[in-house]
Amino acid sequence: MGFFDVPAAYAQEGPFGAFPIVITCENKGTQLAFYFSKLAKDGTATYLATDRLAGTITLGGHAQAVGGSEGGSCLGKTLEQLRASGQAHDLKP
């Protein structure tokens, strides 16, 4: 079981082709780096930062905080918006 079990759109290029490796957000005046951690079968990507902070996002959805309502400058943004604002950082060859 691995990332190849997800829908075909993701499996062709693996999760690193569809999702950024790092998403940076500001929360309460602190800059945080959320690292791509997991891609569920339903296409939900989970990102983790220090202090047990986590968030999720899908290719067509909005960033959500996990376990709380605080999400800082990423909350509610799409991947397209995060890329446009310079907050999404892709893995480059």
Report phi then psi at 17, rounded to 5: -80, -25
Q: What percent of the chain is modeled with pLDDT above 90?
A: 62
pLDDT band of residue 39 (cuts 50, 70, 90) is very high
Q: Residue 39: which residues within 8 A CB-CB, separation 6 or more?
A: 3, 6, 10, 15, 19, 45, 46
Q: What is the DSSP secondary-structure string of 33-65?
A: EEEEEEE-TTS-EEEE-STT-EEEE-TTS--EE
Angle ∠(52,15,89) on CA atoms, nearest 5: 65
**Statement: residue 69 has pLDDT above 70:** no
What's the predicted TM-score (pTM) here?
Answer: 0.80
Q: Looking at beta carbons, which pairs linking 31-36 to residues 24 or more positions away fall under 8 Å?
A: 32/72, 34/74
pLDDT attached to residue 76: 94
pLDDT attached to residue 93: 63
